[in-house]
Amino acid sequence: MTGGYVICEYDEVKEYFPEFNIAMESLHTALIAKAAADWSPKTFGGMTPRSDQFGETTIIPSLFRNISNTTLTTWNQYLTGTGHQTIMSGSNGGNIYEDYKIGLAGLAFLDKAIRVSEIKMQISDKKLPRVNIEEVMAYNKPAIVFEDGYILDEETGFDLYAYVLTIGYQRIKPIGFQLNRVPNKLQTTNTGAALT
């Protein structure tokens, strides 16, 4: 992984950044291969898996906690302080819950007012460099798309840090998809419920 990224409009990423499709397909293939190896003998069942398959969906907020260490039910969270903050982490004590794997292709900021100027991530023991995102303030709905995606594996740590400029609401949405080893954990739980 080279660690590069592109800042662009979230609504126009597919139209003006064709490399995004290639990066997403590569991440998707790598994530499915990892899940098939780790969760064997289960096979990939897409959006409607059988009990002997693992499924796929969009990234669900309840796999993460917010700045106040509360499980997210939406991507909208209230940033309670300024300065260096952990604004998102795995819901299971900082880790991604068991039975879930996430393909992270980028981050979208879905508000006109951007309240952070820098971000950095830590995935397990891998610390990624700081990214100055002040440029995103010139965009309508900015997205940071990684040149190479990252796999957030089950039971591994994830932290998204930011330098928060102002207190208030901010919607930060991970771009990508998640795989689920136990389909019933998504099919029988209520919307907005924790995915333990």
The pLDDT value recorded for residue 73 is 92
Does any domain span residue 167?
Answer: yes
pLDDT tens string for the chain (196 positions)? 356 887 877 777 666 666 777 888 999 999 999 999 999 999 999 999 998 999 999 999 999 999 999 999 999 999 999 999 999 999 998 999 999 999 999 999 998 889 999 999 999 999 988 888 888 778 788 888 888 899 999 999 999 999 999 999 999 999 999 999 987 776 556 666 666 6
The pLDDT value recorded for residue 59 is 95
Does any domain span residue 126?
Answer: yes
| Segments in the chain forming alpha helices (H) | 13-16, 19-38, 184-187
The pLDDT value recorded for residue 190 is 66
The pLDDT value recorded for residue 162 is 96
| 80 vs 87: CA distance, rounded Å | 10
Does any domain span residue 168?
Answer: yes
Nearest to 152 by CA among 83, 90, 87: 90
Does any domain span residue 133?
Answer: yes
Range of the domain at 82: 5-187
- The secondary structure of 107-148 as a DSSP string is EEE-SSS--EEEEEEEETTEEPPPEE-GGGGGSSSEEEEEEE
Cβ–Cβ under 8 Å, residues 88 and 62: no
| 52 vs 46: CA distance, rounded Å | 12
Cβ–Cβ under 8 Å, residues 20 and 27: no
How many angstroms separate the first and last alpha carbons of the chain? 31
Does any domain span residue 105?
Answer: yes
Cα atoms in the 13 Å half-sphere on the side-chain side of 173: 19
Residue with tokens 């798309």: 145
Does any domain span residue 93?
Answer: yes
Let me know how long the chain is: 196
Does any domain span residue 102?
Answer: yes
The pLDDT value recorded for residue 145 is 86
Does any domain span residue 194?
Answer: no
**What pTM value is reported for the model?**
0.89
The total number of structural domains that make up the chain: 1
